[in-house]
Chain A
Amino acid sequence: EDKVVQSPLSLVVHEGDTVTLNCSYEVTNFRSLLWYKQEKKAPTFLFMLTSSGIEKKSGRLSSILDKKELFSILNITATQTGDSAVYLCASAFSFGNEKLTFGTGTRLTIIP
């Protein structure tokens, strides 16, 4: 069965700290890995990764994929209280079935 596992389940840090969130996957016909941020109801898209070793960056957030070891990390530097959210990782398959399988998420809390 395809699955996505995220760690840690929750993380509490002080404002200004740097955090690393982990996502490992076991999927057949892997196509891409996606990161989302969920603050209230709707997850908002952050990154989509398809190739190993190529870092995607947006401001203080960055992410990279390792297709050999089947994992991805999401880094957030100089954290702010607005970064507090649940961060979700999802994998997508190929060959006509782009169903997204989500991990249970990492709840990040930034203390002022």
Chain B
Amino acid sequence: GAGVSQSPSNKVTEKGKDVELRCDPISGHTALYWYRQRLGQGLEFLIYFQGNSAPDKSGLPSDRFSAERTGESVSTLTIQRTQQEDSAVYLCASSHRVLTEAFFGQGTRLTVV
């Protein structure tokens, strides 16, 4: 597609449930990033995929968070046993291997009630 696509755009879930967020990067972009942004705060790095290299998972806040990416395409971010503090906007971005300008999707607003 023309841009980074994320789904769903909004998700309300009950505490303790698992959620799965999806990101479709720009075609041809080998790098894919997940960020979390709590209300009024900055972007918190979660995980980074680059081609077939091992992902940089250093930003994942707990073992309830995991992410996968199929080749150089779709990525899913899974949050297990959601907690209220997981409520945030989850942003996905992709970039070309050589150019590092990253383009963002519209994000998924997750609300845990």
Contact = CB atoms under 8 A, between A and B. Distances in A.
Contacts of B103: 45
B91 interface: yes
A102 B42 contact: yes
Contacts of A32: 100
Contacts, number: 60
Contact of B45 (A31, A34, A44, A102): A102
Interface string A89-110: 0101000111111111100000
A102 B104 contact: no
Secondary structure class of chain A's binding surface, majority of residues: strand
A98 B42 contact: no
Chain A interface residue bracket vs B: 20 to 34
Interface of A: 31-32, 34, 36, 41-45, 48, 88, 90, 92, 96-105
Interface of B: 31, 33, 35, 41-43, 45, 48, 50, 53, 56, 89, 91, 93, 95, 97, 99-107, 109
